[in-house]
Amino acid sequence: MEQKIHQGRNVKRFREMLGIKQEALAYDLGEDWNQKKISILEQKDVIEDNLLRQISNSLKIPVEAFQNFDQDQALNIIANTFSDSTLIINNYNPIEKIIQLHEEKIALYERMLKEKDEMMTRLEKLIIK
């Protein structure tokens, strides 16, 4: 059974990934558009080609992305590509990262304290003169 691409849902996905609100997209599409109309548009299975081109220009995403993107296929590709999840987990240790960040923070504080002491010494010399 062939699954249809839901173009409206794809518009919504890409719009949200870009952090663009429905109101902003409506504004870009023209004065006869509003948030409610964009909401209805995002529920459509198929969107007219000329409107899809306008949305494509507004979001700066190729028309083909709206026409061909299938989330289930993308998830299958990702799942098959990274089937050995232990490989990913072993390369990233959050505790080591926290320790590294903590050490960097301590080094930064030590540099700041040293610079403060040097500045105080210079100021004391200026005051004494």
> Which pLDDT value is given to residue 76?
63
What mean pLDDT do residues 45-67 have? 90
> Which pLDDT value is given to residue 44?
93
**Contacts of 52 by beta carbon, 8 Å cutoff, 6+ apart:** 7, 63, 66, 67
**What is the C-alpha separation between 90 and 99, in angstroms, rounded?**
17
Q: Is pLDDT larger for residue 2 or for residue 45?
A: 45
Mean residue pLDDT of the chain comes to 84
**What is the C-alpha separation between 36 and 21, in angstroms, rounded?**
12
Which CA distances in Å does 19 have to 13, 60, 104?
10, 13, 32
> Which pLDDT value is given to residue 87?
46
What mean pLDDT do residues 46-65 have? 90
Per-residue pLDDT of 67-111, as tens digits, reads 888 776 665 655 665 555 444 445 566 788 888 888 999 999 999
Phi (first) and psi of residue 4, to 5 degrees: -80, 150
Containing 39, the helix (H) or strand (E) segment is: helix 35-41
> Which pLDDT value is given to residue 78?
55
